[in-house]
Structure 1
Amino acid sequence: MNKNLPRAWIAVAILGALGAGFAQAQEAQGTQGNWLLRARAVRLDTANKSDPIPSLAIPSDAITVNNKTIPELDITYFFTPNIAAELVLTVPQKHTVTVQQSALGGPVDIGTFKHLPPTLMLQYHFMPDAKIRPYAGVGLNYTRISSVNLFVPTVGRLDLDHNSWGLAAGGGVDIELTKNWFLNFDVKKVQIRTDLTQFGQKLSTVKVDPWLFGAGVGYRF
């Protein structure tokens, strides 16, 4: 008797079970679909941590980026009723950079920049068939920094690194309003960090690292 035959039957049984499980997951999602689009208003609350710049008499955490409310769109795809991937998008956001204390006094606005921070999350949805559906997730953020216009009197122009990679984590809840419409509340913590430079020399690392508090609506199809 072929010794590999029992292993083959086991492999077939496992594949069959996985296939059946995936088919059941697809059938369970069939009533509402695998896609979920959400639109949110999001409050961006920055951490504002930074290294000191002794030569300019700037202490730790004195370089700040303003808080603001931004629009957000996310696209979520459900692989199974519990597991989904979420892509979080917005439009480039303009921010003001302020030095709270320095040799020039303070606070002093030193200019602006724009950032575009798409984030990809892997989520687990705890109760996918309930009216109230909590979820949690982790992922990766990429932030593109552009349109940097920073200037300090008597010092000159400054620049920021244009690329930031960081971790993201968060969670939220979808509340079913109708068969396809949901009310959504969401919170995330995202790592966004960049170096403040002049003539290619690093002056300080600025950790924006915002909390994102969002509320909006979703449509599943």
Structure 2
Amino acid sequence: MMKILATAASLGAMMSATPAFAEQGDWLLRVRAINVAPSETSSSILPAFPGERVSVDNSIMPEVDITYMATDNIGFELIAATTQHTVSGRSGTTGAIGELADTWVLPPTLTAQYHFVPDGKIRPYVGAGINYTLFYEEDASNGLVDAVGATNVDLDDSFGFALQAGVDIELNERFFLNFDIKYLDIDTTATLNTTAAGTQRVNVSLDPVVVGVGLGIKL
């Protein structure tokens, strides 16, 4: 009986001494495939097309992020990815044109995370933070140019909040699977300076849901 108790005590001591997978001071690098799905709402295209709104398509791209563990439970993650999206008319004249423009989107996002079980093989976390979204290489579609002449497209950059939830699943001492979902608050105004229709503007709340799956490594 004493031997059993001694063995149990020894095992308990070993388990309590097991270090967290991600400890204070560690860096975690993840590479994900992400699907960026805007849940957009838009104003009318004004002044020429009242009642006509736009839609924005999904985009699947790679993403890289890095997390610094400030404590065993609290980490700070910086996400870097860029995606390309098409803006299309939904009804009326612009709906008949279809694709109006395309743009690249770069939304660097910083979140503070809480990791619930840092010493477990399955480690869920939640996070909240901020994103600053840049739009670049905006181009009018051929269909829009054919309809209203040469067109310059410009989308305003955006600053908003970010929410996050995910889980890391340990594969071995260094590698882990990752599943992650984010909500990004992104609002922009698109300005179209056209030859035939003058200057048109449309306000768009993109507010995408970003779902990712990938592989991580403890550096």
TM-score (norm 2): 0.79
- Aligned with residue 212 of structure 1, among 194, 210, 214: 210
**CA positional deviation for 1:74:** 0.5
CA contact (8 A) 1:146 1:162 kept: no
Determine the structure 2 residue equivalent to 1:172: 166
Change (3 A) 1:118 1:57: same
CA contact (8 A) 2:115 2:123 kept: yes
Determine the structure 2 residue equivalent to 1:125: 115
CA contact (8 A) 2:22 2:119 kept: no
**CA positional deviation for 1:149:** 1.2
Q: Quick check: 1:35 aligned with 2:17? A: no
Determine the structure 1 residue equivalent to 2:78: 87
Q: Quick check: 1:66 aligned with 2:57? A: yes
Determine the structure 2 residue equivalent to 1:13: none
Unaligned runs of 5+ in 2: 1-18
Change (3 A) 1:51 1:214: same
- Aligned with residue 104 of structure 2, among 114, 125, 130: 114
Spell out structure 1 runs of 4+ moving beyond 4 A.
27-33, 199-202
Tell me the SS of whatever aligns to 1:106. helix
Q: Quick check: 1:135 aligned with 2:125? A: yes
CA contact (8 A) 1:44 1:67 kept: yes
Deviations 1:31-84 (A, max 9, x none): 796010000001111112100136444536x31121021100000000100000
Q: RMSD of the TM alignment (CA)?
A: 2.5
**CA positional deviation for 1:103:** 2.5
Tell me the SS of whatever aligns to 1:103. helix
- Aligned with residue 154 of structure 1, among 148, 170, 179: 148
Cα distance in 2 for residues equivalent to 1:174 and 1:94: 28
Q: Percent identity?
A: 38
**CA positional deviation for 1:115:** 1.4
TM-score (norm 1): 0.78
**CA positional deviation for 1:193:** 1.5
Cα distance in 2 for residues equivalent to 1:102 and 1:114: 26
Change (3 A) 1:113 1:163: same
